[in-house]
Amino acid sequence: MALYNDKEVFDLRESLAELYESEGNLSKAADILIGIDFDSKIRILGDYTKFANYVHIANLCLQDKDVLKAEPYIEKASRLVEQISEPDLILNYKLCKAEYLDMNLKLLEAAKHYHEISETRQHEVGTIEIIEEEMQDVLNSAVTCALLCGACPERSRVLNMLSQDKRCSKLKIYPVLQKVILGEFLYKDDIASLEENLMPHHKTPLPDSSTLLDQMMVEHNLLCTNSEKYPSMLGIDPRKVTKSAAVMSASKMRSALCSVKDEVTKTQHSLRLERDAYGAYQVLQTERRLHLDTAQAHERADRGYSELTETVQNIIKKIVSELDAAADSLGSELESIDLTLSEP
């Protein structure tokens, strides 16, 4: 009876969540599904059912702009994705994770995930129909996230990768991508065209009242123009430019320190390898000496055994020879005695 009731509760919660979702109450729908005991010892749910529900809950939370509530279910789904073989469900999971990274402002990772998804082909996803326009939107999200990232070597690599994708030439923000790649100055019109692609969470004011787009524009333009002339070119508060320049200088210093740290780490690693190699060489030399000493000991033992055997054989021969001589002498004496006794 417990098994039956547990299944009834599961089915009821799924139906109720579907009802709330259809009414647009996404938060309540997510809460209803979260109330399901997916690790119940009474009714064991399969990996597919768990995975599908984890992805669904995460999607509902993200649509409701609740990134924190979505996070644990993204992590739970990530632990099960290797056991899932249904391509359509895996695609839903990838989209969900990319949106989570995007909304969590992990923009570089989000850009990589979006680009990977945009390369999905029809034969890879089974029953889901791949719509080219939707894949272009996903690609557009990849470019947007990459452009909004702070300047760093990894961002440059991602932007170069995206610029080599021929599909990007069809995007409205492609001219902005080209200018960033070529290090050309970005004007207000360029920024306006990029701003059209931003999601609400991209426009959230930062502690200094600027936005991600403001920071991206200032950082990029500082790298390709004179910082003294730059504020007047765009009518920007010089203090913001000075602050951004200071932040970039600090960032460069951190990068330089990281590079030095990496070099030190590599050197330490090389020294450890050399030390380990020298230790292994010493062990090998010791083993060789032991092997040589053992071989020499065996050779001396064999030679000693041969000499001992030869000595023993010579002694035995000598004893046998002496015994033969003594026997002959004894035989001669006995014969002489016999002759003496036989005379009258």
Report d(CA 163, CA 173) in Å as an integer: 11
Q: Quick one: average pLDDT of 285-310?
A: 70
On the question of pLDDT at 1 being above 50, the answer is no
Report d(CA 243, CA 222) in Å as an integer: 11
74 within a domain of the structure (yes/no)? yes
* Angle CA 298–292–286, to nearest 5: 135
pTM: 0.65
Write down the pLDDT at residue 88: 86
Report d(CA 90, CA 2) in Å as an integer: 33
Report d(CA 27, CA 30) in Å as an integer: 5
Write down the pLDDT at residue 326: 72
Write down the pLDDT at residue 272: 66
Distances (CA, A) of 4 to 36, 38, 53, 175, 201: 15, 16, 20, 60, 44
Number of domains in the chain: 1
Residue that wins the pLDDT comparison between 298 and 210: 210
**5: pLDDT confidence band, cut at 50, 70 and 90?**
low
Instruction: Provide the 3-class DSSP secondary structure of residue 42.
Output: coil
77 within a domain of the structure (yes/no)? yes
Q: Quick one: average pLDDT of 235-255?
A: 52
On the question of pLDDT at 253 being above 50, the answer is no
79 within a domain of the structure (yes/no)? yes
Structural Rg of the chain based on CA atoms? 43
User: Which tokens sit at 128?
Assistant: 């889901």
User: Which tokens sit at 125?
Assistant: 């996803």
The full length of the chain comes to 344
- Mean pLDDT lowest among 19-28, 91-100, 117-126, 142-151: 117-126
Write down the pLDDT at residue 222: 76
**340: pLDDT confidence band, cut at 50, 70 and 90?**
low
**227: pLDDT confidence band, cut at 50, 70 and 90?**
very low
Report d(CA 281, CA 285) in Å as an integer: 6
Q: Quick one: average pLDDT of 246-270?
A: 53
170 within a domain of the structure (yes/no)? no
DSSP state of 1: -
44 within a domain of the structure (yes/no)? yes
Report d(CA 154, CA 161) in Å as an integer: 11
42 within a domain of the structure (yes/no)? yes
Q: Which of 75, 93, 72 is nearest to 84 (CA)?
A: 93
Report d(CA 240, CA 338) in Å as an integer: 143
On the question of pLDDT at 223 being above 50, the answer is yes
Question: What does the mean pLDDT of the chain come to?
Answer: 78
Residue that wins the pLDDT comparison between 185 and 76: 76
Q: Which of 203, 189, 187, 182 is nearest to 236 (CA)?
A: 187
55 within a domain of the structure (yes/no)? yes
Q: Quick one: average pLDDT of 245-255?
A: 51
**260: pLDDT confidence band, cut at 50, 70 and 90?**
very low
> The domain that contains 70 carries what CATH number?
1.25.40
Residue that wins the pLDDT comparison between 82 and 262: 82
**315: pLDDT confidence band, cut at 50, 70 and 90?**
confident
**271: pLDDT confidence band, cut at 50, 70 and 90?**
low
Write down the pLDDT at residue 278: 59
Which residues have a Cβ under 8 Å from the Cβ of 143 and sit 6 or more positions away? 111, 162, 168, 171, 173, 174, 177
On the 0-12 / 13-18 / 19+ scale of CB atoms within 10 A, 331 is exposed
| DSSP track, 24-50 | T-HHHHHHHHHTS-TT-SSSPPPHHHH
On the question of pLDDT at 284 being above 90, the answer is no
38 within a domain of the structure (yes/no)? yes
- Mean pLDDT lowest among 70-84, 130-144, 244-258, 329-343: 244-258
Q: By residue range, what is the domain housing residue 45? A: 1-104
Q: Quick check: 279 and 287 in contact, CB under 8 A?
A: no
Write down the pLDDT at residue 76: 93
**221: pLDDT confidence band, cut at 50, 70 and 90?**
confident
End-to-end Cα spacing for the chain: 136
What's the gap between Cα 233 and its chain centre?
A: 44
